[in-house]
Amino acid sequence: MTVLLTRDADGVRTLTLNRPHRRNALDPQLWEALRAALSEAGGDRSVRALVLTGAGGAFCSGADLSRGVSAAHPLYRMRTLTDVALLLHELPVPTVAKVTGVAVGAGWNLALGCDLVVATPQASFSQIFARRGLSPDLGGSWLLPKLVGLQQAKRLALLAETVDAEEARALGLVTWVVDAGEVDAFVDDLTARLTAGPPVALAQTKALLNEGGDRTLRDALAGEARAQAVNFASADAPEAYEAFTQKRAPHFTGRWAVPGRADDT
């Protein structure tokens, strides 16, 4: 069985965790498949947005503990998790988690690593690590305080409570809650809007926002200036201006457009 399904449509790459018999728990094969898929997506210019979801009514129930503990040193095992978390965080295109069931432990942090989270009312979430004698991984210790503040992050991590989709949305951990019968169409519309955006500018914006929480205002302003220089070197800024004056929708390509230089990519 293919543990990670890949589908491309209209600039959107959908990665589906496909171990429904284990509620899409992450085993070594799936970790490696995720690492390879995210690396490939980051280098593929035809990908303008990425959706991460799970098969069989679950998103991801965390790491698969059914096989017991590996004999490999934990530091070696954690390298793959580290790679996946960084690849997802630094992916230069917008990412959307579509959560239609449980998202637990590393599975929840996988969703939180996406830029936007769409959940159905049936979704449930838990930082289950404490119940397993563990502490958060896959970036959870960094993501949670930034998203909900230190006190709520400690509540979720120390008590390992399960929260439903509405509470997760109220805490700022889910962007939208959408009925199960409408979620596919909602995500399709959302990704269509994202892929219609200027790819270079969106990549710059995502990086600025990701880095902003760890920077001073002076650092952030310098980063914004560099990002705008990159944006003005693309064809998208003048295209947006022309579209505005002509009262039409812009067509963004991310093409390099510095005078005197050919776009050879």
DSSP string, 128-174: GGGGGT----TTHHHHHHHHH-HHHHHHHHHH--EEEHHHHHHHTS-
pLDDT digit string (tens) for 144-173? 999 999 999 999 999 999 999 999 999 999
Read off the pLDDT band of 261 (50, 70, 90): low
Closest C-alpha to 100, from 4, 192, 176: 176
Residue corresponding to tokens 């230190």: 150
Note whether 187 and 221 are same-domain residues: no
pLDDT at residue 66, rounded to an integer: 77
148, 142 Cβ separation under 8 angstroms? no
Q: How many separate helices (H) and strands (E) can be counted in the chain?
A: 10, 9
Are 236 and 257 in a shared domain? yes
pLDDT for the residue numbered 216:
85
What's residue 40's pLDDT? 98
**244 or 262: whose pLDDT is higher?**
244
Same domain, 136 and 19: yes
- Looking at the fold, whether 209 and 246 belong to one and the same domain comes out as yes
Q: Is the entire prediction scored with pTM above 0.75?
A: yes
Of 173, 195, 217, the one marking the end of a domain is 195
Higher pLDDT, 75 or 214: 214
Q: Residue 92 sits in a domain of what CATH number?
A: 3.90.226.10
pLDDT at 174: 98
What is the average pLDDT across 104-127? 97
Name the strand (E) or helix (H) holding 5: strand 4-9
Most confident option among 59-73, 126-140, 221-235 = 126-140
Asked if 24 and 71 sit in the same domain, the reply is: yes
| Residue 32 confidence class, pLDDT cut points 50, 70, 90 | very high
Predicted local distance difference test score (pLDDT) of residue 263: 52
* Domain final residue, candidates 195, 228, 254: 195
Q: Which of 195, 218, 241 is the last residue of a domain?
A: 195
Average pLDDT over residues 60-65: 91
Q: In terms of domains, do 120 and 213 share one?
A: no
Residue 265 has pLDDT above 70, yes or no: no
Q: What is the pLDDT of residue 220?
A: 84
Position 193 pLDDT exceeds 70: yes
Q: Give the structural domain span for 234.
A: 197-265
